Amino acid sequence: MSTKSTKPSDVQLSDTAFATDLGDQSVGSALRDYGIRLRSGDLGALPAILGLVVLGLLFTALRPETFLSNQNIANLLVQALPVTILAMGLVFVLLLGEIDLAAGVTGGVAAAVLATLLSEQSQPWYVATLAGLGTGLLIGLVTGWLVAVLGIPSFVVTLAFFLGLQGISLRLVGEGGTVPINDDVIVALANKNLPLAAGWVLAWVCVIGYAAVGLFGWYRKQTRGLSRPPLPLVVTRVVVVSLLILGGTSLLSQDRARSPVVFLGGIPWGVLLVAVLLIVCTFVLGRTAYGRHIYAVGGNAEAARRAGINVTSVRISVFVISSTIAAISGIVAASRLNSATPDAGTRTELLLAVGAAVIGGTSLFGGKGKARDAVLGGLVIAVIANGLGLLGAKAYAQFLITGGFLLLAASVDALARRRRSATGG
Amino acid sequence: MTSENGTPLLELKQINKSFGAVHVLHDVDFAVYPGQVTALVGDNGAGKSTLIKCVAGIYPVDSGGIIFDGRPVTVNSPRDAAALGIEVVYQDLALADNLDIAQNMFLGRERKRKYRLPLAEKLFPRTLDEASMEEAARETLARLSVRTVSSVRQQVASLSGGQRQTVAIAKAVLWESKVVILDEPTAALGVAQTEQVLALVRRLAETGHGVVLISHNMNDVFEVADRITALYLGRVAADVKASDVSRSQVVELITAGRSGDLGLAPSTAAESI
C-alpha cells in the first residue's frame, strides 16, 4: 500500500529513452553496434562474403588466366543454379528449425514428371512445367501434414520420402535409362541467355528499384522519425549492390564464344530466375505478415501459438514452399543435362544446398536466415567446386573440402548460438 | 459480491473444473474491478493457474459462468479472450527472441499497409505497416513511462529479464485490453527490476485496467494490490480488501484455508485435504 501514491505517468522521456530510435545515428555508432552484434555471435552474411573474397583471390592467384575468364564466370553461375534454388526453398524449412532431406529427390521426381510429359505425352512446355511444380507442391503438402499434424519428426518423414521418391523417379524414367528433353523453352532455362538489350534493361530496373527502395525507405523513416540506419551506410549499400549488378551484367554481356564466328553472351535465363526468386522470397519473408509468422514460429513456437498464429498451417506451408522450389531446382538441373535421370537429386545436391544455406548465414536451429543466404552460400559452394576443378583436384579432394566447409559453417552457427545465449536472454 | 467497488469488469461465478478424477476448482467466485489490482494468491496446486487458463480460453470450464462487462460470455479460445479484451502475461512471457520489441508487441496482429492506389492494394495486400507499428510500440512504452529501452528495434534476446517483462506487459496494454492478468511477473527478477515492474503494474491500474496479479510474494502483493483473493485447494478461502488484512492472515489463508473468522469453515478446509 505504500507506493499507491505513485505519481501518474508523465510522458516526459529521459535522455536515454529511445535514444537510438529518435536521434540520427552516426556511422561510427552504427559500426560499433555492428561490432557488438558480431561479438555476440550474430555474424550475418559476413562469413559467406569473406569466404567468397578469399576463395576468389586464391583461385585467381592460382589460375589467373582461366578463373576470372568470361566463360568461367558464366559457367560458374550456371553451375550454382540448382543448388542455389534448392537452398532458397530450404531456408523456409530451416527457419522453423526443421529439415527437408527429400528436397533434392523431389526436384528429381518433378523433372521426371516434366520430361515424361514432354516426350511421351507431347504436352506443351507450360503444361509439363505446371505438372512438375504441382508434383513438388503435392509432395510438400503430404510431408508438411505428416510433420505438423501427425507430429513425426521432419528428419524421419523426409528421410522416408528421400528413399520412396527415388522409387517414383525410377518408375517414371525406367531403370538405367534417361528421358531426353528437347523442348526449346525448358532447354533454354540453363543453356541460353537473355538478349543483351533485355539484360541491360533488367539490370538497370534492378539497380533503380533497389536504390529507390533503399533511399525512399530511409527518407520515409526519417520524416516519420523512425529507427533507421545512418544515410551513408544506406548509400554505400546501394552503391555496392548496384556496382555488382552492373558489373556482372557487363561481364556476362561480353562475347564468351570460343569460336570467333558466333556470338555467345548475355545473362543466362537461369540467373534471371534466381533473381526473381530472390526478390519474391525476400519480399515474402521480410514484408508480409506470413513471413513474420515464419520467424516467430521458428524463434518460439509457443509464443507464436499464444499470439494466435496458426502454427500448424505455417509448418505445413514451409514444406509446400520448399518442395515447390525444389521442383524448380530439379527442372533447372534437368535443363542443364537436357534430360531427366532416375538418380537426379539423390547424390550430394541436398547436402550442398543445406550447406549453402548455412554458409550463407541461415541457422540450423531455426528463427534466423534470409533468402539471400542461399545465393551467397550457393556461390561459395560453386566457387569451391569450380576452382578445384580448374586446379585439377581429384574428386575425393572435392568431397573432403566441401564437407569441411559445411562442417565449418555449421560450427560457426552452433558457436554463434552459444555465444548468443551466453550474452543475452 | 461486494458492490462497494462498482461493477466488476470480469466476474467468475461458481466455476468448477476437473481433470479426470481430480476436482481442481470448487465453485470458485472471482471478480476483477476496473482501476484495481486484484491479487490472486494460493499455494502451489491451489488452482491459480487453472483458474487463469479457464479465463484465457485455454481450458473449458465444467460448470459456472463468466460475466464480462455485465454480460455473460463464453471463452473457448485465446482468441476469444483477446477479442473481449482479456490479456494474459504468462510467467515464461512467450516472446520470440529472434524478433525485435515492436515485432513482438504486434505478433499475430500485425498492421497491414493501406494504399492510395487500388492496384497496389491488389498486388501487396498483406504488406506490413512497419512505420505505424513502430510508432505505436514506442508510444505505448512511453505512456507506461518505460525509460530503460533505447530502441524498439532491439532484439528481445538482448533484453534483461525486467525489460522482457515490460515488453510483455506493454504488449497487453497496446491491445486496449481491459483486463490484464499477470502470472508471477516478478518471480525471476532482481530487486530494482521488481520495483520497476511493480510500478508498471500500479500504472496499469491507474490507467483504468482491471489487473490480476498472481504472486507468491507477500511483499509484492501488499505493495500493489487493492484486493486479495486467496485460493485454498481449489476453493476461495477469502476475498478481501488488502487494507483489511495483515500479511500473517494472508499467509494463514494460503496455508490453512482459514485465519480467525476469515476463510473456509473448519470442516470444509479439513475435508479438502
Q: ipTM of this model?
A: 0.82
Residues of A in contact with B79 (CB under 8 A): 308
Q: What average pLDDT does the segment B117-140 reach? A: 80
Q: How confident is the model at residue A17 (pLDDT cuts 50, 70, 90)?
A: low
Residue A413: the pLDDT is 82
Cα B53 to Cα A19, B47, B176: the distances in Å are 38, 10, 20
What pLDDT is recorded for position B125? 66
> Which residues of chain B does A38 touch, with a Cβ-Cβ cutoff of 8 Å?
none
List for chain A the helix, strand, coil content (%; round to 5): 75, 0, 25
Cβ contact, residue pair A16, B150, below 8 Å: yes
B143 contact residues in A (CB cutoff 8 A) = 9, 11
Q: What are the distances in angstroms from CA B192 to CA B213, B218, B221?
A: 19, 17, 16
Here the cell at position B170 is: 506493454
Q: Do B131 and A368 touch (CB under 8 A)?
A: no
Task: State whether residue B28 is helix, strand or coil.
Answer: strand
- The least confident of A32-46, A128-142, B153-167, B190-204 is A32-46
Do residues A349 and A109 touch, judged by C-beta distance below 8 A?
no
pLDDT for the residue numbered A27: 75
Contact A115, A339 (CB under 8 A): yes
CB contact under 8 A, B207 and A9: yes
Q: How far apart are CA A106 and CA A117, in angstroms?
A: 17
A218 Cβ contact partners less than 8 Å away, ≥ 6 residues apart:
A228, A229, A231, A234
Distance (Å, whole) CA B90 – CA B99: 18
Instruction: Say which DSSP state B220 is in.
Output: H
What is the structure's pLDDT at A129? 94
Q: Indicate the pLDDT class of residue A19, thresholds 50, 70 and 90.
A: low
Measure CB to CB from residue A2 to each of B127, B130, B223 and give the nearest one.
B223
In the predicted structure, residue A161 carries a pLDDT above the cut 90: yes
- Averaging pLDDT over each range in A143-157, A219-233, B236-250, which range is the top one? A143-157
Instruction: Please determine, for residue A181, whether its predicted confidence score (pLDDT) is greater than 70.
Output: yes
> pLDDT category, B159, cuts 50, 70, 90?
confident
Tens of pLDDT along A256-279?
877 778 888 889 999 999 999 999
pLDDT category of residue A103 using cuts at 50, 70 and 90: very high
User: How many Å lie between the alpha carbon of B46 and the closest alpha carbon of chain A?
Assistant: 24
Q: How many CB pairs lie under 8 A apart between chains A and B?
A: 146
Q: How many residues does chain A have?
A: 425
Of the listed ranges A176-185, A256-265, A351-360, B135-144, the least confidently predicted one is A256-265
Q: How far apart are CA B51 and CA A16, in angstroms?
A: 40
Q: What is the mean pLDDT of residues B70-99?
A: 85
Percent of chain B whose predicted confidence (pLDDT) is above 70: 92
In this complex, is the C-beta atom of B124 within 8 Å of any C-beta atom belonging to chain A?
Answer: yes
Q: What is the pLDDT of residue A344?
A: 85
Tell me which chain B residues have a C-beta less than 8 angstroms from the C-beta of A227: 134, 151-153
Could you tell me the pTM of the whole model?
0.87
Residue A3: the pLDDT is 37
Helix (H) / strand (E) element for A385: namely: helix A371-390
pLDDT of B157 reads 84
Q: What's the whole-number mean pLDDT along residues A82-89?
A: 95
pLDDT value, residue A421: 67
Residues B84-105 have a mean pLDDT of: 86
Give how far B107 is from chain A: nearest CA, Å.
6
Q: With an 8 Å Cβ cutoff, are B134 and A226 in contact?
A: yes
Which of B98, B155, B169, B204 to mutate to probe the A interface, most A CBs <10 Å?
A: B98
Mean pLDDT to the nearest integer, A96-123 = 92
Chain B, nearest residue to A363 by Cα: B98
Q: What is the pLDDT of residue B270?
A: 60
- Share the mean pLDDT of chain B: 84
**In this structure, are residues B249 and B243 in contact, taking their beta carbons and an 8 Å threshold?**
no
- The reported pLDDT for the residue numbered B155 is 86
**Could you tell me the pLDDT band of residue A148, with boundaries at 50, 70 and 90?**
very high
Percentage of the residues of chain A whose pLDDT score is greater than 90 = 47
- CB-based contact A20 B153, cutoff 8 Å: yes
pLDDT surpassing 50 at residue B55 = yes
Residue A272 contacts residue A223 (beta carbons within 8 Å): no
**Interface contact B98-A295, CB threshold 8 A:** yes
Residue A275 has a pLDDT of 94
Cβ atoms of B218 and B29 closer than 8 Å: no
Using a pLDDT cut of 70, give the percent of chain A over it: 92
Mean pLDDT of chain A: 87
**Which residue in A has a C-alpha nearest to residue B79's C-alpha?**
A308
Is the Cβ pair A3, B243 closer than 8 Å?
no
Q: Using a CB-CB distance cutoff of 8 angstroms, which residues of chain A are in contact with residue B94?
A: 300, 302-303, 306-307
Q: What is the pLDDT of residue B266?
A: 67
Q: Which residue of B has its CA nearest to A302?
A: B94
Distance from C-alpha of A295 to C-alpha of B110, rounded to nearest angstrom: 13
Helix, strand, coil shares, percent, chain B, to 5: 35, 25, 35
Q: Report the DSSP beta bridge partners of residue B66.
A: B12, B73
As a three-state string, the secondary structure of A49-112 is HHHHHHHHHHHHHHCCCCCCCHHHHHHHHHHHHHHHHHHHHHHHHHHCCCCCCCHHHHHHHHHH
Q: Does B95 touch chain A (CB under 8 A)?
A: yes
Mutation for B interface: A2, A36, A226, A302, most B CBs within 10 A: A226
CB contact under 8 A, A304 and B107: yes
Contacts of B156 in chain A (CB under 8 A): 425
Asked whether residue A16 carries a pLDDT value surpassing 90, the answer given is: no
pLDDT band of B267, cuts 50, 70, 90 = low
A310-352 residue pLDDT tens: 999 999 999 999 999 999 999 999 999 998 988 888 888 898 9
State the pLDDT at residue A5.
36
Lowest mean pLDDT among A18-22, A52-56, A257-261, B157-161: A18-22
Mean pLDDT of A11-34: 63
Retrieve residue A400's grid coordinates.
Answer: 573432403
Confidence class for position B131, pLDDT limits 50, 70, 90: confident
Check if B81 contacts A (Cβ < 8 Å). Answer: no
* pLDDT (average), residues A178-200: 89
B188 touches chain A (CB under 8 A): no
List the single residue in A1, A226, A425 with the smallest CB-CB distance to B156: A425
What SS3 string covers A106-165?
A: HHHHHHHHHHHHHHCCCCCHHHHHHHHHHHHHHHHHHHHHHHHCCCCCHHHHHHHHHHHH
